[in-house]
Amino acid sequence: MQILFHGHSCVQLTSRSHSVLIDPYLDANPAAVVKSEDILAQYILLTHGHDDHITDAASVAKRNDATIIAVEELAEYFAAQGAKTEAMHVGGAWSFDFGRVHLTQALHTSSVRTADGNRLYAGVPVGFVVEMEGKTIYHAGDTGLFSDMQWIGRRFDIDVAFLPIGGRFTMGPAEALQAAAWIQARHVVPMHYGTFPPIEQDADRFIENLSRMGLAGTVLSPGAVLKLG
């Protein structure tokens, strides 16, 4: 199995038989090194409805005949656009042909911006725990620190955790270090930083601080691949 990081919060999990894309934000992402038309995937997971997480979801889903997995309200929004969808909710889990998906809470908001500039309620924000090809991946989504991350660490044997470190709109590095200590993943990858000036962070320093805590981590540049044995 391999994990391809597309920048910001966009992550692609690929096994021998399936590819799962999380939070596709590519064409408008100044850090991305691929375009949405380059993506091949059978499933798309969406943590919430903000522009920098869903912008390319509909186009990628329709071109690939892929299924979007999201909370019910966000799934209905994309179903109305002609995409195939599977609705879930926080605390729920479901097995798909690529693996099992668990929805965790996330402390954030979720809305979809319409063409006229208004916002539609898009359900609650979530994180995902994905069990796929014998590996367990936690994508925290956009979130602040919350104490139930301790439970997530106890409930799941996590191989890789993607944690936001940008601050201002999500956890910053200090909070993400606490989250990493609670989750105890074998590997931590920072995300949701550096795309825009308000979320500039020193990711290398974050990894150094992880190491001082006895935890492993890697800074992935857009286009970089993390291979799991």
- pLDDT per residue over 171-203, tens digit each? 999 999 999 999 999 999 999 999 999 999 999
Across 110-117, average pLDDT: 92
Summary mean pLDDT of the chain: 97
- ∠ Cα 66 81 102 (to 5°): 50
Which among 57, 47, 69, 67 has a CA at the least distance from the CA of 163? 47
Across 102-125, average pLDDT: 96
Q: For residues 101 and 74, what is the distance between their CA atoms, to the nearest angstrom?
A: 17
- pLDDT per residue over 10-44, tens digit each? 999 999 999 999 999 999 999 999 999 999 999 99
Per-residue pLDDT, 85: 98
CA distances from 52 to 86, 114, 142, 153, 212 (A): 21, 14, 10, 27, 32
Task: Give the confidence band of 115 by pLDDT, cuts at 50, 70, 90.
Answer: confident
- Res. 136: pLDDT tops 90: yes
- Measured in whole angstroms, how far is the alpha carbon of residue 87 from the centre of its chain? 17
Per-residue pLDDT, 32: 95
Per-residue pLDDT, 58: 98
Per-residue pLDDT, 117: 87
Element containing residue 47 per DSSP (H, E): none
Q: In this structure, are residues 55 and 61 in contact, taking their beta carbons and an 8 Å threshold?
A: no
Q: In this structure, are residues 185 and 196 in contact, taking their beta carbons and an 8 Å threshold?
A: no
Across 1-12, average pLDDT: 98
Per-residue pLDDT, 185: 98
Topology adopted by domain 2-219? Metallo-beta-lactamase; Chain A (3.60.15)
Per-residue pLDDT, 229: 81
pTM of this structure: 0.98
